[in-house]
Amino acid sequence: MNEIIKKQNQELKNVIYKTPALITLFVASQVAGGHLVPAEERTAKVYLSVLSNQAGKELQDYFQEVKKTFDDDIKTLNEELPKDTKIRKEKIEQLLQPVKTFLSQLPPSSGIVFKDALLGFVLHARDFRQDTLESVILPFVSDDLRKIENERLRRILD
């Protein structure tokens, strides 16, 4: 994937490599206060480690590269992005717009795999944020509600 990314302009490359950090911060903005907590950041790092070692061959190089700067990226972005939750979410969506375009231009097989891996950051961060009722009991009560929520959060990359 890095070979495809390296062919993009510098600004787009920077955003593509910061996408996991942006997604993590977007999900943190979904809850009251919108503050990134240390345990949430650790959850994202664990998922990033898993992807950098176990993602498909075509994505491992990307996630290994992201892993090198993730700590700095998430810290810098968290400080630089607006503090107001609504404005922060809007700014992150604006920053992710070129990534959405990039993903749509990839061959379908690569685009789907890449998007699914990135959406994993949404799910891991969201799962951290959910309370026990939502994350343990709700899936057994209604898979439909969880599917609706997944689709709602999916819009940040669609």
Instruction: Provide the pLDDT for residue 34.
Output: 63
- Tell me the pLDDT band of 16, cut-offs 50, 70 and 90: very high
Q: 101 or 137, which is more confident?
A: 101
Q: With pLDDT > 90 as the criterion, what percentage of the chain qualifies?
A: 27
Can you tell me the mean pLDDT for 148-152? 52
How many domains, the chain? 1
Range of the domain at 44: 2-154
Can you tell me the mean pLDDT for 91-98? 91
Reply yes or no on whether the pLDDT at 142 is more than 70.
Answer: no
- How high does pLDDT run on average in the chain? 78
Q: 120 or 125, which is more confident?
A: 120
Instruction: Provide the pLDDT for residue 124.
Output: 66
Written in H, E and C, the secondary structure of the chain is CHHHHHCCCHHHHHHHHHHHHHHHHHHHHCCCCCCCCHHHHHHHHHHHHHHHHHCCHHHHHHHHHHHHHHHHHHHHHHHHCCCCHHHHHHHHHHHHHHHHHHHHHCCHHHHHHHHHHHHHHHHHHHHHHCCHHHHHHHHHHCHHHHHHHHHHHHCCCC
Reply yes or no on whether the pLDDT at 140 is more than 80.
Answer: no
